[in-house]
Amino acid sequence: MTATALTTLDVSQTPVVPFGRLVSVELRKLADTRAGRWLLISIAALTLIVLIIQLSVVVSQDINATYADFMQGANAPMGILLPVLGIMSVTSEWSQRTAMVTFTLEPSRIRVMAAKFVGLIILALVALVIGLLLGALVNLLYGAFSGNDPVWGSVGKVILCYLVVWVLGMATGFAFGAVFLNSAAGIVLYFVYNFVLPAPFEIGAQLMDWFDTIRPWIDFNYAQGPLLDTTISGSEWGHLVTSGLIWLVLPLLIGVWRIRRAEVK
């Protein structure tokens, strides 16, 4: 008497999903829904609008402007919305309930998270290129309209500083999203950290000398100030690293630990 062999689906020989494919899937997820596509388009459009307003004000009021000034203008929309993109790339997986599919097709959650992270960094680089090009265009227009020679300053340093700012912004958003796994909570607390927290930090620094001394080492926003001015040097890089450990690396570690264990609903 022979028992019928149970039909099995043998996937032991199937190769794992290559990391490159995961990254390209995550990139696609960022851009192929209406919400995602419009977020990307509005970031670029807002950057252009802000730069045009800045240009018209600078030219009409006869103010001297440099390439770095225009990049600071471009940072207004980019600096606010890129982190939101980072947050939503993580949290939408949970709020739209796609996590079940994602983690079934690739059960190694760390690989999915790493692919999301790499996708975001690629997007930050694209944003950097767009921002630099728009900034350069506006700087050239400034030269044409104002009659002054456009001031480029140290272009290499401008590129380096804004590369660091936007990659850090994107990564911080990603970390906040991973900690809260909820769009609303992630965005609100990110903005509280970004907009609200500097005020109490400032008051604390004015009231207490010891707090004023340690503030650059723990206030990530404050530490990024010299990057926006493209004047960063020496110990200011140290400020950036230590405060980044608190506001970027720590939430990222907690978030990854949480995602590894979170119930997929």
Which parts of this chain interact with another protein (CB under 8 A)?
35, 57, 60-61, 63, 76, 80-81, 84, 88, 95, 182-185, 187-188, 191-192, 195-196, 199-200, 204, 207-208
User: Nearest distance from residue 19's CB to another protein, in Å?
Assistant: 28
Residue among 42 and 108 whose Cβ is closer to another protein:
42
Structure tokens at 214: 């340690």
- Per the DSSP assignment, residues forming a β-bridge with 66 are 151
User: Nearest distance from residue 2's CB to another protein, in Å?
Assistant: 53
Residue among 41 and 184 whose Cβ is closer to another protein:
184
User: Nearest distance from residue 35's CB to another protein, in Å?
Assistant: 8
Residue among 11 and 207 whose Cβ is closer to another protein:
207
| DSSP letters for 63-126 | ---BHHHHHHHHHHHHHHHHHHHHHHHHHHHHHTT-HHHHHHH---HHHHHHHHHHHHHHHHHH
Dihedral pair phi/psi, residue 249, rounded to 5°: -70, -45
Q: Tell me the residue type at 206.
A: Q
Residue among 210 and 234 whose Cβ is closer to another protein:
210
Residue 242 near residue 232 (C-beta atoms within 8 A): no
User: Nearest distance from residue 196's CB to another protein, in Å?
Assistant: 6
Number of other CB atoms surrounding residue 144 within 10 Å: 11
